[in-house]
Structure 1
Amino acid sequence: MAEASTRKVSRVKKDIISELPGNIHEYILGCLPIQDAVRTSVLSTRWRHTWTMTPHLIFDNQFLCRMMVKISKYTDPELKALKFVSVINKALLLHNGPIVSFSIEFPSYECDSRIFHDFIDQWIPVLSRKSIKQLSLDDFKLGEYTAHHFSSLDLTHLRLISFWFSYTSTSGGFTYLTNLELINVAISKQCIFDCPVLEKLTLVVCTGLSHTNFHAPKLKCLHQMCDEISLAGFENLGLKNLTEFSCGLCNCLSELEPSETSNLAKVLCSLHNIEIIYIAAEFIQFLAGGGSLRNLSKPLHNLKTLNISGINFVDSDIISCLLCLIRSAPNLCKLNISADIYTEFSVYGDLRKDYRVGDLDDFTIDQLKIVTLSYFEGRRAELELVKYLLAHAPLLKTMSIHRHAIVTKDVSLLIAEEMLQYTRASSRAQIRYLEQPVVINVFEGFECFYT
């Protein structure tokens, strides 16, 4: 009995986690908030310094909230900022290994932001010695501060939020940068960022910045969310290697200046290798300017996925633009469309007028297999689009439709009965109804900057 009891106690005391390899320990700590990772130092002598080897130092929103509670007893903004950065300084001082990624979300109020900028300049040399590759700074306040020498770091990924970025040509280039995200960033003057290996560029509501400010010959993914749009940046794109492109506009284009030639052609005709397109917010309205086209002069042979959100099915120019995109993508496989939920609703019975989205000719969408339509209201233009796609997609497998909540059951039944009568080019084509819409948002996580 005593021997069995001893074996039982031995099994209970056995520390399986501590016996795991060091890289597993680092992975576990990397999944914890930074405060909890540091607290593991009290578990045992073996764990005392384990957190100091974690390659990811992430001072995220959870850390920010905890710190704001701790420093709330102080009233001086400068003292609050110093207390905040002192914790980060201590973590950097005690850290013993390389730092792959370093991320901070700074307080947006009650603290002196000048302190943060001063300490960023002090951290950059430390991070350089730690061989940092990924840097993310969320400052929340714009201000004219001394330029931070981010280009002195061998970064592969840089993310800046709410920064005044006074970059100059003398600051050097970003030799190793492959992914750059600038959100609510402003620059002091027009300048060119030298990024010879940059592959992905994201610009969200930036002032004085567009893709034309970058020398990036290997750019493959370009994501832009703008306050305003100009064709000046698209006429000579120099983006022939792009495989993924997205653009959205924050503001309504009710006062859009008329264009003499098609905006759609100007923007997309040079994107010969494009595979995925996201068209968000008001950008579809911009593309529809300058007259409708049946096809682009140069087909988008590589385009496989087309995502459009916020399309107004009341505007015939926008619908023509949509059809032009579909016809110009002979190898399109997946089509995702989300209707504009703010367009004035009309009941199904009011839409039974003579409206057609296009001629039912011999044109076929040979590779189209998946279609999703979200916030479907049963407008005549929507029904004609469904009819058009069913009749021209011989390989279509599923057409998934999410009905707008405002559509009544009686109207839904009428819509379903009509669609059952449509001719289908594919014998396998099925119409499915979704409870939830398919979210089309390449800018996920940046909603606060354009809603």
Structure 2
Amino acid sequence: MENLKRLHRDILRELPDMLIFDIFWRLPMTDVVRTSLLSKGWRNFWTTSPFLNFDNRAMLFGDDSWRGFDGKEVYRVPLCLYSCSSLKELSLQSCNLEIDGNVQWNKLESLTIKAFRVTANLINQILSATPHLKVFDLTYVDKGGNLSIQSTSLKELSIFKYFLAAADLFVVSELRICTPNLETLEISGFPYKKYLLMDVSSLTRAFLDSVPSDHFFQFGLSNALSQILPSIQHVEYVALSDCCTKEIGAMKTKCAHSAFLNVKSLKLRCCLYDYKQVIGALEMFPQLNRLVIEDEKGNSHQDDTESLKFEANLPESFLLRLRTVEVTWSEGYGVFPLIEILLKYASKLEKIVFQLNEIKSPATSDSLFYVSEKLLRMRRSSSSNCKIVLTKLRPSSHWNNSGN
């Protein structure tokens, strides 16, 4: 009789809470809610979890007859979620957020929102109800309205704005940021009409990305950068996408050469064949110690056998403090003009690391040998002891902004 009772006991209820919460975090949210059928003690247990991940991307092509879908392939977040006061980490991806009442996320520390349907007013409402939020990652379609990020607790902020319809491109919107304790800021996607970075005094890392530039978006991007750059001049680490690198290189004639006096580490994603624009951008970082460059376009190849020449009126402070350079590029030799300039002017350069992506191309088969031969013939500055490291990598499809 005793053995029979053991067989019928609710074993799931005896699992440690943190183990159950860890299971919830790893499961699709549809399955998490369905776990309420497994045990009486689990009926509403998922609502007490400190970690929840609503990821609709895995469900878009699944069974849309399950409760929660609104018929338009967007999952409706249960209203009871907004009263989950125990939440510390929450991820909402491809979901429909509809708040009815007050949000009670007083303990929330990390929030990811990647939604098709979310308004600036709703985001503002959420932020006002998360007094301890430290990490906020937002991806959304701008449908109008001014987005205001005001928080004394935020440490990391990432904002990506995109569009689904052509009408979204002409939305006039404003981004206002007042975060005195913010340390890391990433702004990417289509630019806002107006930026107000009112207090980012604690910022140490800034990532600026944008959509591929053309004549239509060039003015918008230039206008955005002219508003953002003055507010982040005090940071120590900067990462720029290809479009932003080009714009900053073109803007150098309008800005003081010492625009970023505190930046020690810089990461550029750019086309190495546009080396003059890269040099123009580098002029604005006189205190640079470390430079990381990733080739954005490695599909052009040329056998560069003639001596390279570069004429420019560079400032006396150009690259005087640069010690380390890391270059990742594909087979092709447009990298040489830039490297020649670095070797010529960076008098304190200690190390250059070349990481060659392996791709099929008509370039010389023994690329690393060819590169080493070219480098040995290049003119160097007083930094004759600079160490050069050549390696091969597999192709990378994603720009990792964590390089520091």
* Aligned positions of 1:280-319 closer than 5 A: 280-289=241-250, 291-293=251-253, 296-309=256-269, 311-315=270-274, 319=275
Q: Distance in 1 between matches of 2:211 and 2:271?
A: 16
Residues 1:334 and 2:287 aligned together: no
Per-residue deviation, residues 134-156 of structure 1 (Å, max 9, x unmatched): 11122x25x57345854643311
299 and 170 in structure 1: CA distance in 2 versus 1, 3 angstrom threshold: closer
Contact 2:97 2:117 in 1 (8 A): yes
Q: Distance in 1 between matches of 2:346 and 2:51?
A: 46
Q: Distance in 1 between matches of 2:213 and 2:369?
A: 34
Q: Distance in 2 between matches of 1:436 and 1:163?
A: 36
Residues 1:372 and 2:308 aligned together: no
Q: Distance in 2 between matches of 1:415 and 1:114?
A: 57
Q: Distance in 2 between matches of 1:203 and 1:337?
A: 23
Which residue in the other structure is 1:198 paired with? 154
* Aligned positions of 1:9-408 closer than 5 A: 49-54=14-19, 56-57=21-22, 59=24, 63-64=27-28, 85-87=33-35, 93=43, 95=45, 99-106=49-56, 107-109=59-61, 110-111=63-64, 112-114=68-70, 120-125=78-83, 127-128=84-85, 131-138=86-93, 140-141=94-95, 143=96, 145-146=98-99, 149-150=102-103, 152-166=105-119, 167-168=121-122, 172-184=128-140, 189-206=145-162, 212-226=175-189, 228-230=190-192, 232-233=194-195, 238-257=199-218, 266-289=227-250, 291-293=251-253, 296-309=256-269, 311-315=270-274, 319-341=275-297, 343=299, 345-349=300-304, 352=306, 355-356=309-310, 358=312, 362-363=316-317, 365-377=319-331, 379=333, 382-403=335-356, 405=359, 406=361, 407-408=363-364
261 and 162 in structure 1: CA distance in 2 versus 1, 3 angstrom threshold: closer
Contact 1:201 1:221 in 2 (8 A): yes
What is the CA-CA distance between 1:55 and the residue it aligns to? Answer: 7.8
What is the CA-CA distance between 1:389 and the residue it aligns to? Answer: 1.6
190 and 352 in structure 1: CA distance in 2 versus 1, 3 angstrom threshold: same
Contact 2:106 2:131 in 1 (8 A): no
209 and 144 in structure 1: CA distance in 2 versus 1, 3 angstrom threshold: farther
What is the CA-CA distance between 1:259 and the residue it aligns to? Answer: 8.7
Residues 1:441 and 2:403 aligned together: no
Letter in 2 for 1:346: H
Percent of residue pairs identical: 15
Which residue in the other structure is 1:416 paired with? 372
What is the CA-CA distance between 1:347 and the residue it aligns to? Answer: 1.2
Instruction: Name the larger-Rg structure.
Output: 1
216 and 263 in structure 1: CA distance in 2 versus 1, 3 angstrom threshold: closer
Per-residue deviation, residues 62-115 of structure 1 (Å, max 9, x unmatched): 633xx9xxxxxxxxxxxxx6x773326868547599743222323223324249
Give structure 1 stretches of 5+ with no counterpart: 1-40, 68-80, 445-451
Letter in 1 for 2:364: T
What is the CA-CA distance between 1:371 and the residue it aligns to? Answer: 0.9
Higher helix fraction (1 or 2):
1
Q: Distance in 2 between matches of 1:237 and 1:191?
A: 13
2:16 counterpart SS class? helix
What is the CA-CA distance between 1:266 and the residue it aligns to? Answer: 4.9
1:123 counterpart SS class? helix
357 and 98 in structure 1: CA distance in 2 versus 1, 3 angstrom threshold: farther
Q: Distance in 2 between matches of 1:396 and 1:102?
A: 48
TM-score scaled to structure 2, two decimals?
A: 0.74
Letter in 2 for 1:244: R
363 and 342 in structure 1: CA distance in 2 versus 1, 3 angstrom threshold: same
Higher strand fraction (1 or 2):
2
357 and 267 in structure 1: CA distance in 2 versus 1, 3 angstrom threshold: farther
Which residue in the other structure is 1:77 paired with? none
Q: Distance in 2 between matches of 1:97 and 1:170?
A: 21
TM-score scaled to structure 1, two decimals?
A: 0.67
Contact 1:378 1:415 in 2 (8 A): no
Contact 1:278 1:306 in 2 (8 A): yes
Of 210-219 and 323-332, more deviation after overlay is shown by 210-219
Contact 1:320 1:357 in 2 (8 A): no
Q: Distance in 2 between matches of 1:333 and 1:211?
A: 35
Per-residue deviation, residues 212-262 of structure 1 (Å, max 9, x unmatched): 244323322111220x2256327x665443211112223342434459989
148 and 402 in structure 1: CA distance in 2 versus 1, 3 angstrom threshold: farther
Q: Distance in 2 between matches of 1:379 and 1:398?
A: 20
2:319 counterpart SS class? coil
Give structure 2 stretches of 5+ with no counterpart: 1-5, 164-170
391 and 352 in structure 1: CA distance in 2 versus 1, 3 angstrom threshold: same
Letter in 2 for 1:102: L
Contact 1:117 1:145 in 2 (8 A): no
Contact 2:138 2:158 in 1 (8 A): yes
52 and 429 in structure 1: CA distance in 2 versus 1, 3 angstrom threshold: same
Q: Distance in 2 between matches of 1:202 and 1:84?
A: 28
Contact 2:195 2:227 in 1 (8 A): no
